[in-house]
Amino acid sequence: MRIDGKPYRTIWLAEDGWSVEIIDQTRLPHDFATTRLTTLDEAAHAIAAMLVRGAPLIGATAAYGMALALRQDPDGIDRAYDTLLATRPTAINLRWALDRMRRRLSSLPTGERAEAAYIEAAAVCDEDVGINEAIGSHGAALIRRIAEAKPGQPVNILTHCNAGWLATVDWGTALAPIYKAFEDGIDLHVWVDETRPRNQGASLTAWELNSHGVPHTIIVDNVGGHLMQHGQVDLCITGTDRTTARGDVCNKIGTYLKALAAFDNGIPFYVALPSPTIDWTIADGVREIPIEQREGAEVSALTGRTADGRIETVTVIPDGSPVANYAFDVTPARLVTGLITERGVCAATSEGLLGLFQEKRAAE
C-alpha cells in the first residue's frame, strides 16, 4: 500500500535492525503515526490495546514480540508465549504464529534463538503478504464475473469491519480482491459498514479506500439489509478471525446479521480466508470459539475530532446503564457462499477446506 506515494507495510523492522515499527491504528483516521516496539510488554500492549489489530497482523506482531522477548531473555520462550497469547482470545492467528515460533526456536541453543526468531518473524510477515495477494487475485476473478454480467454499472460490494491492508501485513484479506479488481480497471463501489463500537469500518476501511482512490460510501451498521432488498449490493466480502474445520466463520460482531440478510436476499456472501486463520481443532464455531468481550467504554463513549482539530471523547449513554460489548460473532457455514483462500475459492465445508489444505491439516 502506498501512503503519500511511499510504499508501506503495517509492521517492519526499524533501521536499528532490532526494534519493530508499527502504525498506531488507534490514531487513524485523524493521524498517520508510527510507533516503535522494543520489548515483549510493548508488543503485548500494542495487540491488547489495538494499536495493531486484525487477525493476520495480530499474528505477525506476536511473532516479532517473541523476537523482542528472546533478545532480552533467550530462555523466555514460555513467558513470551503466555504473555502474548493472553492479549486477545478470538483470532487464531495469534496462537498459530506463537506455536510456529515456539516450534522453530525451542530446540535451538539459547545463543541462536534471538536471531532465528527475527528471521522466522520476517518469514511470517512475508508469507502473509504472498497469501493476501493470492487471495486478491482469486477474489478479483469473482468480482470480474459479476462486472461482466452488468456492463456499464459498478459492482457494489459490502464489507464489514476492516479486513484490509491495516489488518494484515499488506494487501488485506477482504479488501485484497477489491484492490486487485480496482487496479484491473473494474468499475466498483464499496459499502463500508461503520462497525460499532470501535468503528473499524468508518475509521480504517474508509481511510484505506480513500487513500487508494477506491469509490466507497460509509453506512451505519443496520443499513446493509435495506440496501440488499433494493438491489444495491452485488456481493459481500468479509474477513475472519477464526474459521473452523467445517467452515463456520468468526468475524467482527455484526457479520452474522449481514450474512443472514444476504442469504434472505440471494446475495453471495464470501469470506476471505488466509489458511493460518483455520482452526483445524474445532468444528462448531458457535459453541467452541471464545468470543472476546471488551470494556464497556467502547460502547458508552465515542471519540472524534472537533471542528478546531482536537481529539475528544464524549459519553453517549445515560449514567448507570449497563453495557455489554461482544466483539465477535459466528456465521454458520451454511450462510457462507464460498471461502476465498490463497489456493482458490472453496465451499465452506470440511470437504472444501480439505480439498485445498489437506497437508496443512495433517501437519497441525
Ligand X SMILES: CSC[C@@H](O)[C@@H](O)C(=O)COP(=O)(O)O
Q: Which residues are documented as binding site for substrate?
A: 53-55, 88, 200, 251-252
CA dihedral 304, 310, 316, 320 (to 10 degrees): 130
Identity of the residue, 67 or 167, whose beta carbon is nearer to ligand X in the bound complex:
167
CB of 168 to ligand X, least distance (A): 5
Cα gap 42→46, rounded to integer Å: 6
For residue 14, the minimal CB distance to ligand X (Å) is 24
* Nearer CB in complex with ligand X: 46/327: 327
Measured from the CB of residue 300, what is the shortest distance to ligand X in angstroms? 18
Exposure string for 271-306, b = 16+ CB within 10 A, e = fewer: bbbbbbbbbbebeebeeebebbebeeebbbeeeeee
Q: What b-and-e string marks burial along 190-218, b requiring 16 or more CB atoms within 10 Å of the CB?
A: bbbbbbbbbbbbbbbbbbbbeebebebeb
Cβ-contact 240, 251 below 8 angstroms: yes
Nearest residue to ligand X, by Cβ distance, number only: 239
CA dihedral 92, 98, 103, 105 (to 10 degrees): 170
- C-alpha 198/C-alpha 253 separation (Å) is 11
Q: Which is nearer to ligand X, 127 or 241 (CB)?
A: 241
Closest approach of ligand X to the CB of residue 316, in Å: 20
Supply the residues annotated as catalytic: 241
Task: Detail the residues annotated as belonging to a binding site.
Answer: 53-55, 88, 200, 251-252
Minimum separation from the CB atom of position 248 to ligand X (A):
15
Q: Which residue has the cell 469491519?
A: 161
Q: Residue 208 to residues 162, 277, 303: CA-CA distances in angstroms?
A: 9, 22, 19
Residue 101 vs 169, nearer CB to ligand X: 169
Q: By CB under 6 A, name the binding residues for ligand X.
A: 53-56, 91, 161, 163, 167-168, 173, 200, 239-241, 251-252, 327
Burial of 311 (0-12, 13-18, 19+ CB in 10 A): exposed
63 within 8 A of 121, measured Cβ to Cβ = yes
User: Based on CB atoms, which residue is closest to ligand X, 142 or 327?
Assistant: 327
Cβ nearer to ligand X, comparing 78 with 295: 295
Instruction: Report the relative pairing of strands 34-37 and 188-193 from DSSP bridges.
Output: unpaired
At closest approach, how far in Å is the CB of 93 from ligand X?
8
